[in-house]
Chains A and B, each alone.
Chain A
Amino acid sequence: MIISIASGKGGTGKTTVAVNLALSLDKDLLFLDCDVEEPNANIFLRTRLYETEYVTMDIPRVDEGRCDYCGRCAEFCEYNALAVLSSKVMVFPELCHSCGGCKLVCPRDAISWEERVIGRVEHGVKDNISFYQGVLNIGESQATPIIRYLKNKMSNGRDVIIDSPPGTSCPVIESINESNYCILVTEPTPFGLHDLKLAVDLVRHLSIPFGVIINRYGIGDKRVDLYCQTERIPVLERIPHDEEIAKLYSNGKPFVEELGEWRVRFQRVYELIEASI
Chain B
Amino acid sequence: MKQLAIISGKGGTGKTSITAAFASLTKGRAVYADCDVDASDLHLILKPRVIKTMKFHGLKTAVMDKEKCIGCRRCYENCRFNAIDDELNIIEERCEGCGVCVYVCPSRAITLTDRDSGLLYISETRFGPMVHAKLSTAEESSGKLVSMVRENAKNLAEEKNKGLIIIDGPPGIGCPVISTITGVDLVLVVVEPTVSAIHDMSRVIDVSKHFSIPSVVCINKYSLNEEKTSEIIEYCRSNDIEVVGMLPYDTVVIESMVQEKTVIEYPNTVFSDKIRLMWRDVEDKLFNGVREVEG
Contacts and interface: CB of A to CB of B under 8 A. Distances in A.
Contacts of B211: 139
B50 interface: no
Interface string A230-257: 0000000000000000110111100000
B172 A76 contact: no
Contacts of A169: 38, 135, 138-142
A121 interface: no
B245 interface: no
A136 B143 CA distance: 16
B173 A136 contact: yes
Contacts of A177: 93
Given A169-B38, A190-B44, A38 B9 contact: yes
A10 B12 contact: yes
Given A166-B171, A190-B44, A10 B10 contact: yes
B196 A166 contact: no
A97 B95 CA distance: 11
Given A168-B135, A205-B137, A250-B225, A191 B174 contact: no
Interface in A127-158: 136, 138-143
A9 interface: yes
Contacts of B135: 168-169
A74 to B, nearest CB: 13
Contact of A38 (B97, B140, B171): B171
A80 B108 CA distance: 24
Contact of B103 (A11, A105, A167, A170): A105
A170 B224 CA distance: 34
A177 B173 CA distance: 22
Given A10-B11, A167-B38, A251-B225, A189 B174 contact: no
Nearest to A97: B96
Contacts of A264: none
Contacts of A202: 137-138
B195 interface: yes
A99 interface: yes
B207 A198 contact: no
B138 A206 contact: yes
A251 B228 contact: yes
Interface string A4-24: 000011111001000000000
A99 B93 contact: no
A78 interface: yes
A107 interface: no
A78 B258 CA distance: 44
A172 to B, nearest CB: 8
B275 interface: no
B170 A78 contact: no
A70 B82 CA distance: 30
Contact of A246 (B104, B224, B260): B224
Contacts of B139: 169-170
A277 B109 CA distance: 38
A250 B193 contact: yes
Contacts of A60: none
DSSP class of A's interface residues: helix, strand, loop or mixed? loop
Given A38-B171, A251-B195, A8 B39 contact: yes
Contacts of A8: 38-39
A76 B97 CA distance: 11
A170 B10 CA distance: 18
Interface in B87-109: 93, 96-100, 103-104
A63 interface: no
Contact of A219 (B9, B16, B254): B254
A138 B196 contact: no
Contacts of A141: 143, 174-175, 178
A251 B203 CA distance: 19
Interface string B104-133: 100000001000000000000000000000
A252 B195 contact: yes
A267 interface: no
A138 B203 contact: yes
Given A8-B38, A170-B139, 18 more contacts: A10-B171, A78-B98, A99-B81, A101-B99, A105-B103, A138-B207, A139-B210, A141-B178, A143-B172, A165-B172, A171-B174, A173-B138, A190-B260, A195-B39, A205-B138, A206-B93, A247-B225, A250-B193
**Which 5 A-B residue pairs are closest in the complex by CB-CB distance?**
A10-B11, A11-B12, A99-B98, A167-B38, A252-B195
Interface of A: 8-12, 15, 37-38, 40, 43, 76, 78-79, 97-101, 104-105, 136, 138-143, 165-171, 173, 177, 187, 189-191, 194-195, 198, 201-202, 205-206, 219-221, 246-247, 249-252
